[in-house]
């Protein structure tokens, strides 16, 4: 990778990290709305698509932990810790699939949906481990509610917004 491309990806990853830090403020700091809209997910997934899996992991792990340590939201354990694994998984799967599949709309959706499913599975495993370590329980019902039912609005926003951004920006910045 040439120096210009490396610098471009570094700046872009910093932008995605900043967006991940700021976007939850759009939910009005109401945790229930934030949990439904999943505002941290969008910049992290986009980082995976545009910057690659390495930067995606960095932004995915850093964003919930940084917000937790600086702002207290999300709570550090188990929420931010499990989100760090979840967001890193989103970015890695999106990045690797986008890199190896044709850059056409159906494959962008395939990459996104696969990343969303993989991230939610990783979140469920992380929650199971964290809750087990702290003496709590994490049931299949809690997984389904947390990963899918409560997140339906965020899932819809991601399915509408992310492919449009990826397809538009991919065409525009392909040569960089």
Where residue 174 falls among pLDDT bands split at 50, 70, 90? Answer: low
72 φψ region: left (φ > 0), alpha (ψ -120 to 50), beta (else): left
Query: How many residues are there in the chain?
Result: 176
Arithmetic mean of pLDDT, 96-118:
97
The percent of residues above 90 in pLDDT, for the chain, comes to 80
Instruction: Give the distance, in angstroms, between the CA of residue 154 and the centroid of all CA atoms in the same chain.
Output: 11
Fold of 3-173: Arp2/3 complex 21 kDa subunit ARPC3 (1.10.1760)
d(CA 52, CA 60): 12
d(CA 150, CA 38): 10
CB 42 within 8 A of CB 72: no
Please name the residues in contact with 84: beta carbons below 8 A apart, sequence gap of 6 or more. 60, 61, 62, 64, 65
- The counts of H helices and E strands in the chain are 8, 0
Q: 10 Å Cβ neighbour count for 141?
A: 9
Digit-coded pLDDT (tens) for 151-164: 999 999 999 999 99
d(CA 119, CA 28): 25
d(CA 83, CA 114): 17
> What is the reported pLDDT for 1?
66
Where residue 170 falls among pLDDT bands split at 50, 70, 90? Answer: confident
> What is the reported pLDDT for 73?
87
DSSP 8-class letter at 29: T
Place of tokens 């494959």: 107
Q: Collapse the DSSP code of 28 into the 3-class scheme (helix H, G, I; strand E, B; otherwise coil) and give the result.
A: coil
Q: pTM value?
A: 0.93
Where residue 29 falls among pLDDT bands split at 50, 70, 90? Answer: low
Q: Collapse the DSSP code of 30 into the 3-class scheme (helix H, G, I; strand E, B; otherwise coil) and give the result.
A: coil
């Amino acid at each position: 990778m040439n120096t210009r491309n490396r610098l471009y990806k570094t700046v872009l990853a910093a932008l995605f990290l900043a967006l991940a830090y700021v976007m939850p403020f759009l939910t009005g700091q109401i945790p229930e709305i934030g949990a439904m809209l999943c505002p941290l997910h969008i910049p992290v997934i986009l980082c995976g698509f545009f910057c690659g899996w390495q930067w995606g992991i960095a932004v995915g792990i850093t964003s919930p932990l940084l917000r937790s340590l600086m702002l207290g939201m999300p709570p550090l354990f188990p929420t931010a810790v499990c989100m760090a694994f979840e967001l890193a998984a989103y970015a890695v799967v999106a990045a690797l699939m986008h890199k190896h599949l044709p850059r056409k709309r159906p494959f962008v959706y395939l990459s996104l949906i696969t990343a969303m499913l993989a991230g939610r599975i990783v979140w469920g495993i992380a929650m199971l481990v964290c809750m087990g370590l702290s003496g709590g329980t994490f049931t299949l019902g809690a997984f389904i509610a947390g990963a899918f039912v409560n997140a339906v609005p965020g899932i819809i926003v991601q399915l509408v917004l992310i492919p449009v951004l990826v397809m538009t920006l991919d065409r525009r910045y392909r040569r960089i």
